Amino acid sequence: MNCNGGMPFTSLIDTIHQRRAVVAVIGLGYVGLPLAMRLCAAGFPTCGIDVDPSKVERLQRAESYLSTVSNQMIANAQAQGFHCSESMAVVAQAQVVIICVPTPLGLHREPDLSYVRHTMAALIPHLQPHAAVILESTTYPGTTEEELLPPLQEAGFFPGENVALIYAPEREDPGSSHDAQTIPKVLGGVTAACTAVGSALYQQLVEQVVSVSSPRAAEMTKLLENIYRAVNIGLVNEMKVVADAMGIDIHEVIAAAASKPFGFTPYYPGPGLGGHCIPIDPFYLTWKAKEYGVHTRFIELAGEINHAMPTYVVGKLRDALNACGTAVKGSRILILGLAYKKNVDDTRESPALAIIDQLLHLGAEVAYHDPFVPRCPQTRRWSFHIPSLPLNAEILRAHAAVMLITDHDCLDYSLIQREAVLLIDTRGRFAANQPGIVRA
C-alpha cells in the first residue's frame, strides 16, 4: 500500500477506536501529566515516563506536583492501570508514543532540542513496528521532519509504512475556564496515513480535530498562536509606558476601546511575559527564519519590549521610594505572586523572578507571598533563597513597598490596599489615583 493510504495502519486505528491502544507519554510535566490523565479518563491504557525520579516516586504514591492535577485524579488513573517509570523500556508496550519534553531556549535564544534528541535516541530501540510517534512539544517549523524522521529511518522505521509520525502541538491553558475537551486539536502527519492515525487518537479526546497538510504547518500554527499574543501584549505594554508618561490610565483606555463591537480585541499590560510558550516560542521562529534569509523585525521588537518590562516596573518602584525619601537599597520589599499568571503554580519564565533578581542586585531585602508557590523555585537561570511569608496586616506594614506581580483571585485585596505602606500595582487590580498606590 502506498504512503497516501490508510491501509498500513488499519489495525492501529481500529485499536485506537476501541480504546485498547496502549499510550506512552514521555515527559510528565505541565503538558504530559494532564494529557496522561485525560487518556486514562478516556479509557486508554496509559503509562508515563519521566527522567525525574522524584516525579515518578510521587506519582507512584498518587501524589500530584501540579495544581491542575489532583491526587484523586492520579488515584483514579492508577485504578484504571496507569503506571509510570524512569525507564524507556515501557515504550515496548505501547502502540502510541507521545513526546511532551521541554524545548527551552539556549543562552543566545537559540532552540535547545537536546531533550527531544535524547528522547528519540532512548525510545527508538524499544519502538514497535506500526506504532505512532507524536511530538507535542512546541518547536520551530521543520523539527519533526529534521530531528525525528532521520533517526527513525536509520532504525528502519518509515513514516506511512511501518510508523506513523505526527506533530500535534499542545494547547493547554492552565488556570483558565477552558475545558481541554473543547479546545480543538491541530495536527499534521508526515503522510496522509500518519495524519489519519493522529486524528483517530485525538478524536477520542477532544470535540474537534483540525488536520493540516504537514507537520511544518502544524508547527507554524502553534507559533503563530503564541506570537500573535506576544506581539499584542508587546503593543499594549508599550502603550502603557506611553500612557503613563501622559498621565493616562491605560486600563481605562482598554476598557473604553473594548466597547467597540468589532476590530478590537483587548489585551492587558503587565510586568512582563511568563510561562513556557509566549516568552520563548517567538524566538524559535526568528531563529529558523534566519535560515531562509528572513529577519523577523516585528516579532523581535515585541520581544524586546516585553523583555524590558521587569526593568520598567523596578524603575517605577525606585521612583516611588525616592519620592518618599527612601532608597531601594536596604528597603524591605514584599512581592505578591511568583507564578507567571494568576491562579496557577507555574513559575517558568515568570517576570517576578527577573524583578526579584534586579531588586536583590540593588540591595533590597526581598520576601514574597504566593499561595500557589510555597517555596521559591530554583531554575537554570536563577537561584534565590528568599522567604515565603503569610499575608497579614503585620507583614504588609513591615515592608517599605508591596509589589503586586501576579493577581491571584484568592488574595485579600482589601487587606492589601488598607495595610500596604506603598503599593506597586502591575496588573491594574486597584483603582487608579489612590493614595499610596502606583500603577506600573
Q: Any idea which residues carry the catalytic annotation?
A: 277
Alpha-carbon span 434 to 428, nearest angstrom: 12
Alpha-carbon span 271 to 406, nearest angstrom: 9
CA angle 107, 174, 349 (to 5 degrees): 20
- Other C-beta atoms closer than 10 Å to the C-beta of 381 total 11
In sequence order, what are the residues at sequence separation of 6 or more whose Cβ sits closer than 8 angstroms to the Cβ of residue 351?
270, 271, 272, 273, 274, 309, 310, 313, 340, 405
Alpha-carbon span 8 to 110, nearest angstrom: 38
**Grid cell at residue 237:** 505594554
Alpha-carbon span 206 to 199, nearest angstrom: 10
Query: DSSP letter string over 280-317?
Result: THHHHHHHHHHTTT---HHHHHHHHHHHHHHHHHHHHH
Sheet strands (E) in 282-351: 332-336
Alpha-carbon span 354 to 377, nearest angstrom: 13
Q: DSSP character for 240?
A: H
Helix (H, G, I), strand (E, B) or coil at 335: strand
CA 207 to each of CA 36, 178, 184, 201: distance values in angstroms, whole numbers, following the listed order: 18, 13, 7, 12
Alpha-carbon span 302 to 237, nearest angstrom: 9
Alpha-carbon span 82 to 184, nearest angstrom: 25
Cell 499561595 found at: 371
Cell 505541565 found at: 30
**Grid cell at residue 129:** 513496528
